[in-house]
Chain A
């Protein structure tokens, strides 16, 4: 089992460019999450999905969109990147919200210039 996979690992964007971060899990989990991690800020939830076809905003959703394509895949899109979105992005999955442990992907290191 690969667990949670993310692509790409690194990305540099210019301000205003768009991109989609991909995430997939092979653990048959219902819940999937997108977090961003900034120095000294811990992990902040951007969006989450409790099941296929449903998505909800987290703590910092502005500037992002998500799509739960199927049970395995959950993508994060930046429509018009801004320098404030420079961060490390982690995708995670779990069997249930807030109750079961979360499994994290390796992360995407994004720089917006």
Chain B
């Protein structure tokens, strides 16, 4: 079946270093969404990308949607301790339109 995978599973960085997580789908996606979940919290929507090759920025966060609309990335510049959490990508199932969540990347930032 359709799968959405993320790498890496975990990432530990020193505060100020950059961080990137990659999301890969087994099928073409009509759109991709990104969510952040703080430790002990619930997922919170960050952004949605729709167009092939689209790039969107939110302050230090840069989101890209691949040309083939099968992959995406989230890049954080100069991480801060407030960036700690798990980042999930999610794309709609091609048959049912229900979101399929990636496995997530857990980011730990050391001060």
Q: Which A residues fall within an 8 A CB radius of B?
A: 33, 35, 40-45, 48, 56, 58, 90, 92, 97-99, 101-107
Task: Check if B73 is an interface residue, CB within 8 A of chain A.
Answer: no
Q: Mark B93-106, 1 if CB is under 8 A from A, else 0.
A: 10011111111100
**Total cross-chain contacts (CB, 8 A):** 55
Q: For B33, B88, B101, which residue has the most chain A Cβ atoms within 10 angstroms?
A: B101
Name which residue of chain A comes closest to B89, CB basis.
Answer: A42
A106 and B48 contact, Cβ closer than 8 Å, known pairs A45-B99, A99-B92? no
Across the interface, which residues of A come within 8 angstroms of B96, CB to CB?
Answer: 56, 97-98
B98 touches A106 (CB 8 A): no
Q: How far is the CB of B106 from chain A (nearest CB, A)?
A: 9
Sample 18 A-B pairs with CB under 8 A, ordered by A number: A35-B101, A41-B103, A42-B101, A42-B102, A42-B104, A48-B98, A56-B96, A92-B43, A97-B92, A97-B96, A98-B30, A102-B33, A102-B45, A102-B99, A103-B45, A104-B42, A105-B42, A106-B42
